Amino acid sequence: MSTTTFASLPLHSALARALAARGYETAMPVQSAVLEPRYVGRDLIISSQTGSGKTIAFGTLLAQTLLVEGTPFVRGPRPVALVIVPTRELAAQVREELGWLLRQTGLRLASFTGGTSVGGDLRALAHGVDLVIGTPGRLVDLSRRERLDLSVVTTVVLDEADEMLDLGFREDLETLLQAAPAERRTILLSATLPSEIRALARKFQRDALPVDPRATEGGAAASANSAAHADIAYVAHVVAGHERLAAVVNVLRAFDLQAADEARAIVFGTTRDGVAQLHAALVARGFAATVISGDRAQAERDRALEQMRQGQTRVLVATNVAARGLHLPDVDLIVHADLPLNAESLAHRSGRTGRAGRKGTAVLIVGAHERRKAERLLAAINARTTWSAAPSAEFIAAAARSRMIEALLKDEEPADETVPSAAVEAVIQKLEAQRPARQVLARLLARELGRLPAGEPLTVVAASSGGARDARPGPRHSRSDFSSKGVVFRINLGAKDKADPRWMLPLICRRGGVTHREVGAIRIGPRDTMFEIAGEAAHDFSVASAQMDPRAPHVRIDRADGPAATFAPADGPRPSPAPARPAARSFKPAPHKAAGHHKPAPHHKPAPHKPAPHHKPAPHHKPAPHHKPKPKQK
């Protein structure tokens, strides 16, 4: 990644101040790339994904063309710059982002989009606008009414050009570009560069230079069409064809959308009917879900998006077509309920997560007969993928129990306490007088546990795919490899720590002395991660993982349905070296003992791990020396 600071870039001082005031110090790759000297004044074709920081990038280019350092901008009666975007949502975002970035430049900004009264646009234009942001249809409308005069425009930005063409705006774009002076500067941004985009560039740009920030960064095999978003962890689950819906439900449950404060997901499907069914099934299971498909009116689409922004809905179910041009902030999870039709669509759909440096997860639900196709799609976008079994019902139940225990053991009182503590106290006193506390607790818990969200039963389908055929072997593990039931563990690293199965898996293996084959589903949550260990390896794993790793002393692993860790808090004092941790208590097979039994297990020494014969790792899974159980710390 680039570590270029904005201070080192040739920026207009008004923008430098705005960025500093916003707390943005380090430029994102596209932002440093576009300011390279060879691009000054040139038409550009910028390969950029949503969330890459592209708005600030073209904002700096607008400033480069429109402003002179040390000379105040002179306002005129007609706009000097035009930014064309595919959707109203994006127009609002761009208006917002350019608003603060260009605030101190003297430029007057306005955004004109369909679906709003044209009167406001006309008033704004009469008042004077220097930089116009808008959607193609409304801009053409204003231009035809001769209220938007593009005759002195010096810079045109076509943002998300591929989406504009997909949405059928070619003619409108041509109309607008023809209305602007031929000697203008034209900046085109696009996530993909299909032939139609290249044709548009040839027709309306002059000797445009390509800017691919990933290539500039030295990003290996990355190319405009092929680079997967670096902040997205790709996970593929192979499922029996008829269990697609159940798998989606489990993926969403395992991600714990309901518990995480801000987590949001988009589920993509191919057909309207499929998407409608999926939506109905999710709502029936208590998910706050909403749906967008091609037959919905713009107003409904806006409402759905607004609900998502406000947090009233956590899951948006969408067809590929309807989702074109959606701009949702902070989507943490993308589920491809059906395989996308092509690699571009996979990149587009997945690009709705992993934005602005946040870690996102894209999960592909792959039918048993679709593995090859999924592999091809993932290889085409260069995505390193973790193939694993879909989270099982047991996995989800264990994770839910673990979260419940964590919530009950939290030090602070729940913020949304509605029952006065005096009332609670009165009930406690009555119960205490008549029954032992443990008995009451057991009853309460039985009731609560019964209410925890349940996963769907799933048939086990081997997740591993084409063996030697697979050019990018991810960790291949499947619950089908486990000869006895898997045991769920928790590690105290989650999305907030940019957890990614790619580095979590080696860490889990190293810490617990197991091989990839013995690790099942890995589910990253906002604050921690659940993972499954093959039943026969679970005991050794629990003992070995209880040892403190001097390379990662704050990393804590517990059995998920065991009591909360007794280890020092992550930012607390360093615990004394293992084997002081009496964690083995939670590793005994069920029934599991209540907290407070801190008796150390009879054996602390990790038994050298022997993979069961059928776990013999494939050559590329050969455990590296560091996968061996670590000797006890001194």
Q: Which residues are at the interface with ligand AMP (CB under 6 A)?
A: 24, 26-28, 31, 50-56, 97, 355-356
d(CA 112, CA 135): 7
Closest to ligand AMP by CB, 54 or 88: 54
User: In the complex, what is the shortest distance from the CB of residue 187 to ligand AMP, in angstroms, rounded to a whole number?
Assistant: 14
Which residue bears the tokens 């264990």? Answer: 398
Number of H helices, E strands in the chain: 21, 18
Nearer to ligand AMP, 96 or 406 (CB): 96
Cα-Cα-Cα-Cα dihedral of 76, 79, 81, 87, to 10°? 150
Q: What is the dihedral of CA 391, 395, 400, 402, to 10 degrees?
A: -130
Which residue lies nearer to ligand AMP by CB, 34 or 555? 34
What minimum distance in Å lies between the beta carbon of 305 and ligand AMP?
Answer: 15
Shortest Å, Cβ 524 to ligand AMP: 21
Residue with tokens 């119960």: 431
Nearest-angstrom CA–CA distance, 517 and 515:
5
CB of 109 to ligand AMP, least distance (A): 15
> Least distance in Å: CB of 319 to ligand AMP?
23
Query: With respect to ligand AMP, which residue has the nearer C-beta, 101 or 180?
Result: 101
Query: Among residues 30 and 153, whose Cβ is nearest to ligand AMP?
Result: 30
Q: Which is nearer to ligand AMP, 47 or 50 (CB)?
A: 50
CA distance 373 to 394: 29
Minimum distance of ligand AMP from residue 56's CB (angstroms):
5
User: How many residues are recorded in the chain?
Assistant: 634
Measured from the CB atom, is 17 or 206 closer to ligand AMP? Answer: 17
Q: Is 44 helix (H, G, I), strand (E, B) or coil?
A: strand
In the complex, the smallest distance separating the C-beta of residue 296 from ligand AMP, rounded to whole angstroms, is 24
- Widest pairwise Cα distance in the chain: 89
535-545 and 501-512 helices, crossing angle to 10°: 80
Nearer to ligand AMP, 28 or 560 (CB): 28
Select 101 or 461, whichever has its Cβ closest to ligand AMP. 101
Name beta bridge partners: 529: 491, 524
Please compute, for residue 587, the number of CA atoms within 13 A of its CA located in the half-sphere on the CB side: 28
The residues with which 247 forms a beta bridge, in sequence order, are none
Instruction: Give the nearest distance from C-beta 368 to ligand AMP in angstroms.
Output: 37
User: Sheet harboring 315-319: ordered strands across?
Assistant: 289-292, 315-319, 265-269, 333-336, 360-367, 232-239, 385-388
User: Are the beta carbons of 133 and 159 closer than 8 angstroms?
Assistant: no
Q: Give min distance, CB of 15 to ligand AMP, in A.
A: 12
Q: Tell me how far the alpha carbon of residue 630 is from its chain's centroid.
A: 34
* Least gap, CB of 213 to ligand AMP (angstroms): 11
Quick one: 50 or 529, whose CB is closer to ligand AMP? 50
Token couple for 332: 């943490």
Residue 171 dihedral angles phi and psi, to the nearest 5°: -60, -45
Strands (DSSP E) along 139-208, which ranges?
155-158, 185-190
Shortest separation between residue 161's beta carbon and ligand AMP, angstroms: 15
Comparing CB distances to ligand AMP, the nearer of 31 and 392 is 31
2: β partners: none
Residue 76 CA to its chain's centroid (Å): 43
Q: Which is nearer to ligand AMP, 11 or 548 (CB)?
A: 11
Question: Which residues, 6+ apart, have CB-to-CB distance to 119 below 8 Å?
Answer: none
Q: Where are the beta strands (DSSP E) in 164-231?
A: 185-190, 209-211
Least CB distance from residue 440 to ligand AMP, whole Å? 50
The answer to whether the bond into 591 is cis (omega within 30° of 0) is yes
Closer to ligand AMP by CB, 192 or 402: give it: 192
Please, what is the minimum distance in Å from the beta carbon of residue 356 to ligand AMP?
3
495 secondary structure, DSSP code: G
Nearest CA-CA partner of 211 in 241, 237, 189, 181: 189
Nearest partner of 80 among 144, 14, 155, 134, judged by Cα: 155
